[in-house]
Amino acid sequence: MSQNAEPTWTPPQHPVVVLMGVSGSGKSTIALRLEEATGWDFLEGDDLHPQANVDKMASGTPLTDEDRWPWLEAIASWIREHTAAGRAAIVTCSALKRAYRDILRVDDNVVFVFLHGSVNEIGTRVRHRKHQYMPPSLLDSQFQTLESPAPDEHVVTVDVDRTPREITATILETLHQDPESQP
């Protein structure tokens, strides 16, 4: 794990964790494990895609920025509700570009966790899974769109070449949560 945040970074008391990365990086798997370990609210960001986006991806056509803005705003609204209420939460969202992350970074309670992996490693995963509308053919476009987080974004980067349990424990430790209580 590497952490782009400063060494003195202290996680918020009620974080909203945005699990980010390309399709197949393990966002949903890790989010479910975090939800089980913490009891925090969880949103599968893909569930907020308008039907037009779902249809476009299912046909193998990559989304444009114009397609993504309303979806990102819907996720940001959900995040705002949770931070305003002081409720910790977990949301999955590819958040491939800095501009996308900037929309989701509604305040200092938002913590991005970048699930990082190589094209080969994640490509193998994607070819061996079934996603409701994200065909493996779109993975290349996601890697082309991906802007790795810059140090000033204070993003926690976790390599996905370990088990889901190890990845979850690393995230919980970073957030100062008890990894021993996780499944």
- Domain with residue 141: its CATH number is 3.40.50.300
Q: How confident is the model at residue 120 (pLDDT cuts 50, 70, 90)?
A: confident
Structural domain count of the chain = 1
Residue 20 lies in a domain: yes
Residue 49 lies in a domain: yes
Residue 42 lies in a domain: yes
Which one has a higher pLDDT value, 163 or 131?
Answer: 163
Is it the case that residue 81 has pLDDT exceeding 80? yes
Residue 107 lies in a domain: yes
Q: Which structural domain range is residue 66 located in?
A: 2-178
Q: How confident is the model at residue 134 (pLDDT cuts 50, 70, 90)?
A: low
Residue 130 lies in a domain: yes
Contact 78, 102 (CB under 8 A): no
pLDDT for 1: 47
Is it the case that residue 31 has pLDDT exceeding 90? yes
Q: How confident is the model at residue 62 (pLDDT cuts 50, 70, 90)?
A: confident
pLDDT for 179: 56
Residue 183 lies in a domain: no
Task: Give SS3 for 31.
Answer: helix
Can you tell me the distance from the alpha carbon of 96 to that of 147, in angstroms, rounded to the nearest whole number? 6
Residue 88 lies in a domain: yes
Mean pLDDT, the chain, whole residue set: 88
Residue 70 lies in a domain: yes
pLDDT for 60: 84
Can you tell me the distance from the alpha carbon of 79 to that of 111, in angstroms, rounded to the nearest whole number? 11
pLDDT for 114: 98
Mean pLDDT of 127-153: 79
What does each C-alpha distance from 24 to 18, 133, 135 come to in angstroms? 16, 13, 10
Mean pLDDT of 13-29: 95
